[in-house]
Structure 1
Amino acid sequence: MTAQSTEFAFGMPWESLYGYSQAVRAGDTLYISGQLSHDSTGTFLGEGDFELQMSTTFDNLDRVLKHFGATRKQIVETTVLVRGLRDHFDTVARLHAAYCGERRPTSTVMGVTDLALPDQLVEIGAVVRLDLAR
């Protein structure tokens, strides 16, 4: 039997431009592309405000989870890319721990020199198991 895949997009112009989906469900695994700080129209939010960018990025991650009927408790892995990691590590740690709550997924945090948008400071991707208890 072959597993089915389902793709999800927000309808942002950069999805077609870059050629990717916000998430792909393959069987019971959901792969979520790196999320960033933007509103529903694609307007970037939080220029110069790391904490706002991080919280808005988590909000967008929640939007993807909701589309698939998933919750944070089903996240098994996160990847966090940060410009200026040394300056922002404590904030990353605090907000990531608060977002995950009692659930402790695996996580990779990497400092990077650039991200896709000039004012972007953080990007967060995730792997989710839909067959875990919600």
Structure 2
Amino acid sequence: MTQVDDILNPLTRQRLMPPGSWDWHIPTPFSQGWRVGDTIFVGGQLSADEHGNVVGEGDIEVQTRNVFDAVTRVLEEGGATWSDVVKLNTYYCCNETGDAVREFWEKMTRVRLEYLPTPGPAGTAVRVAGLMYEGFLIEVEAIAVVGSGKFLAP
């Protein structure tokens, strides 16, 4: 495509692969994210180093911060910020019961709130039995619309 084609086609796609992002341990065609027009789709981010190894094993606060930093890098690569995020899906592994589940969720959420503006995006949090490999406690995906950080009050 030429630059003229890019301007004329509002649905131009841009693959988002920020430097320093984690990668799969085998070659795959997956992407960290895509920008399509003004919409950014951030693929599931894990608490992993560049080689896909778990960072912060057993520590939901470390993993949550690492995951949200990874989402931030993908958003920035596409020209967006957390204010542009309109949908946030969080998947987390907690094998605890009772008060321990609440404490786990509260630790995770305190870190998430460091990144989210007010009002925040539509959100979903799903407790799952497991993620890609043992040791991963949280995975987050997001959808952002570039420039949508300004909103009309209801």
Report the TM-score when normalising by structure 1. 0.86
For 1:15 and 1:73, how far apart are their aligned partners in 2? 32
Which of 106, 117, 130 is the matching residue for 1:101? Answer: 117
Q: Are positions 1:53 and 2:79 aligned together?
A: no
Residue in structure 2 matched with residue 124 of structure 1 by the alignment? 140
Residue in structure 2 matched with residue 74 of structure 1 by the alignment? 84
Q: Larger radius of gyration, structure 1 or 2?
A: 2
Q: Extract structure 1 runs of 4+ deviating beyond 4 A.
A: 10-13
Distance 1:16 1:79, change over 3 A: same
Contact 2:25 2:51 in 1 (8 A): no
Which runs of 5 or more residues in structure 1 are unaligned?
A: none
Distance 1:70 1:29, change over 3 A: same
Residue in structure 1 matched with residue 13 of structure 2 by the alignment? 5
Alpha-carbon distance, 1:94 to partner: 2.1
Calculate the aligned-residue CA RMSD, in Å.
2.3
For 1:6 and 1:23, how far apart are their aligned partners in 2? 9
Alpha-carbon distance, 1:36 to partner: 1.1
For 1:69 and 1:76, how far apart are their aligned partners in 2? 15
Alpha-carbon distance, 1:96 to partner: 2.1
Q: Kindly provide the amino acid, as one letter, of the partner of residue 58 in structure 2.
A: G
Distance 1:101 1:12, change over 3 A: closer
Which runs of 5 or more residues in structure 2 are unaligned?
A: 1-7
Contact 1:83 1:115 in 2 (8 A): yes
Contact 1:7 1:24 in 2 (8 A): yes
For 2:128 and 2:74, how far apart are their aligned partners in 1? 24
For 1:57 and 1:9, how far apart are their aligned partners in 2? 15
Q: Kindly provide the amino acid, as one letter, of the partner of residue 14 in structure 1.
A: W
Contact 2:15 2:35 in 1 (8 A): yes
Q: 1:64-99: CA deviations, max 9, x gaps?
A: 112122111101110000001762221233222222
